[in-house]
Amino acid sequence: MKTNDATSAIPGKGAMSGVKVLDWTSYQFGPVASSMMGDMGADVVKIESLDGDIGRAVARMSSRPIGLEGGRNAYFETCNRNKRGIAVDLKTEQGMRIVHELVKSADVFVENYRKGVPEKLGVDYETLKKINPKLIYASGSGYGPDGPDASKPSLDGCGQARSGLMMSATFDGQNEPSYVAGAVSDQMGGIILCLGIVSALFAREQTGKGQRVDVSHLSSSMWLQGLSVGMELLSNYQFGSMDRKNPLNPLVNAYECGDGRWIQFMSAQFERYWADFATALDITQYIDHPFVGEIKGMTAGSPELTRIIAERFKTKSSDEWVSIFNEYEDLIFAKVQYVSELKNDPQVIANNYISEFEHPTLGTTKMCSFPVTFSDTPASIWKEAPELGQDTESILIEELNYNWEDITELQNTGSIL
């Protein structure tokens, strides 16, 4: 589905129409939060230093093949769509004044820098709320605003490590912790930060007051594992990694098929699903076998039964098994896919979970859609990530009443590009 048609690509049609966001962020955590607001129709202005968000250099830093035409890179484009861009030097008095003037008419200010950096540059909460008491000031941090590590730097892997997420993804007997690809601690942090901002905007409608919102790698990654954390706190029950050779319930397990692909089963109610599962596998002789008895009580698994099931899966390809299991409408399972397969998944296509829009440099471009479907205020991808300082002049002239002489002076003093 192309999202930049005459009706869906116009900013201001989404659920956050009329909201103005100032986005002083870098890397992924903060940019994701503001980009989500842009998807929902907010007017997002990305504020960068004169050398740009460090996310623009990820392709060079990581030596990954993510560079695109025109000096763009997939990392920055993904995290910064639906934004205008301004480049100012906050270390100059003129640059700081520009941001303060923008704050006067803003609804939200988003940042994800180390504690102390915003204060040093005059864009901290205490300073900005004096300029605009109704401002929602949103911070993304590593470990939260208080405590002994509040000022420590953090990137995605630190959030995964500190929150226990790495160990949750690590199998028993594995010597090294597992890193979940895609910077999920950053991504989850951005999602939760966006939620916090939207909630604070709703509260402002009731009270007329702005406030500060703070989300950290630690808090959001803990919430991502909320069931595990909550159950451990309540009952000391600890979720461990699954032993695929002897799961507590063999109907909650992943099995390798004859073509090397895997199918994940999540039919948690063993007694309800076992007969259908065994029939589909053509192992009905085991439906009432003695070594199934303890599993029905959910007190122990059976390595012998799991081995029989695993061997049976090896006799057909994953697609053949999917076709068979689809005849049993109650069985709960999914074929294990690669990210590269999502664009061809019929459910992804049917629900427009991947969108197309016309990028001025890259042409027709596909991106992951906003994850929420709205019946009346659809989210959309209507604009590419801005080039560095792309809208500086137009914003200063059209929104802050600067003239071209002012622009020249600011450029000469190094306050803007």
Q: What residues act catalytically?
A: 186
Alpha helices (H) in 244-380, listed in sequence order: 270-281, 293-296, 303-313, 318-325, 346-350
Residues in the chain: 417
Distance between CA atoms of 75 and 68, rounded to whole angstroms?
Answer: 10
Parallel, antiparallel, or unpaired: how do β-strands 108-111 and 20-24 relate? Answer: parallel
Asked whether 32 and 55 are in contact (CB, 8 A), the reply is: no
Distance between CA atoms of 251 and 34, rounded to whole angstroms?
Answer: 41
3-state secondary structure of 136: strand
Q: How far is CA 146 from each of CA 149, 164, 215, 223, rounded to the nearest angstrom?
A: 8, 20, 12, 18
Q: What is the largest CA-CA distance in the chain?
A: 88
Asked whether 283 and 255 are in contact (CB, 8 A), the reply is: no
- E strands in 172-284: 211-216, 252-256, 262-266
Any idea what DSSP says for residue 252? E
Distance between CA atoms of 29 and 190, rounded to whole angstroms?
Answer: 5
β-strand partners of 44: 21
SS (H, E, C) 347-386: HHHHCCCEEEEEECCCEEEEEECCCCCCCCCCCCCCCCCC
What is the CB-side half-sphere exposure of residue 112 using CA atoms within 13 A? 31
Distance between CA atoms of 65 and 68, rounded to whole angstroms?
Answer: 9
Distance between CA atoms of 24 and 50, rounded to whole angstroms?
Answer: 13
Distance between CA atoms of 237 and 288, rounded to whole angstroms?
Answer: 31
Distance between CA atoms of 416 and 410, rounded to whole angstroms?
Answer: 6
Q: What are phi and psi of 352, to 5 degrees?
A: 55, 40
Q: How far is CA 272 from each of CA 24, 275, 277, 343, rounded to the nearest angstrom?
A: 53, 7, 10, 34
Residue 284 in tokens: 């009905």
